[in-house]
């Protein structure tokens, strides 16, 4: 900075050393400095993904039904990953896979997580995708996620039978359910 301020002016009438005559001040009574462009109105391109708000609305309805039908159990399930007490209550109350709340929360999970994965895949590189129809890609993601969960649960239950670890497996499945579905 010093070298710039101390350099000699090379113009004839000292233009670089004097301040500009136009002083810009902002006030409530002065206009803004933005100018109207002549390009016209720019519309966003039409999106074919009109089914996304419907799925999100369905998820909100499922959340509202869950909060309405199972308020106490939902509180236990939501607090289970954070406190040991609620996790033990959840484990001791029986198999959480047979609870009705698990059906609602599982549907919400199977609708929302594939939506996030779908949007990431469309955002990252939409040209690389083989499937052109967005809804088909979303359904394929749901199918793979559901298949992954079924295989994972089946393998854990097979290991339960092989190694005869009933209580440990039940706690592991509950832990897996709580941490994967609710966080």
Q: 88 falls in which pLDDT band (50, 70, 90)?
A: confident
Q: How confident is the model at residue 181 (pLDDT cuts 50, 70, 90)?
A: low
What's the whole-number mean pLDDT along residues 26-42? 65
Note the pLDDT of residue 81. Answer: 85
Q: What is the mean pLDDT of residues 2-19?
A: 58
Do 76 and 174 touch, CB atoms closer than 8 A? no
With CA atoms as reference, report the closest residue to 61 among 117, 110, 108, 112: 108
Q: Are 120 and 141 in contact (CB under 8 A)?
A: no
At residue 71 the predicted structure's pLDDT band, cuts being 50, 70 and 90, is: very high
Residue 22 or 176, more confident: 176
Which is more confidently placed, 120 or 8? 120
Range of weakest confidence among 16-20, 82-86, 161-165, 178-182? 16-20
pTM of the predicted protein model: 0.67
């Amino acid at each position: 900075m010093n070298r710039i301020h101390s350099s000699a002016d090379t113009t004839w009438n000292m233009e670089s050393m004097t301040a500009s005559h136009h002083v810009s001040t902002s006030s409530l009574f002065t206009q803004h400095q933005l100018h109207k462009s002549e390009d016209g109105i720019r519309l966003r391109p039409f999106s074919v993904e009109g089914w996304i708000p419907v799925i999100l609305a369905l998820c909100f309805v499922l959340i509202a039904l869950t909060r309405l039908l199972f308020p106490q159990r939902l509180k236990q399930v939501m607090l289970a990953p954070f406190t040991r007490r609620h996790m033990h209550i959840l484990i001791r109350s029986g198999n959480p896979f047979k609870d009705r709340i698990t059906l609602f929360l599982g549907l919400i999970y199977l609708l929302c997580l594939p939506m996030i994965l779908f949007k990431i895949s469309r955002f990252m590189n939409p040209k690389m995708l083989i499937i052109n129809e967005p809804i088909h890609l979303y359904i394929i993601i749901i199918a793979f996620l559901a298949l992954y969960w079924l295989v994972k649960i089946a393998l854990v239950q097979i290991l339960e039978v092989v190694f005869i670890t009933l209580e440990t497996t039940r706690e592991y499945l509950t832990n897996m359910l709580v941490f994967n579905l609710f966080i």
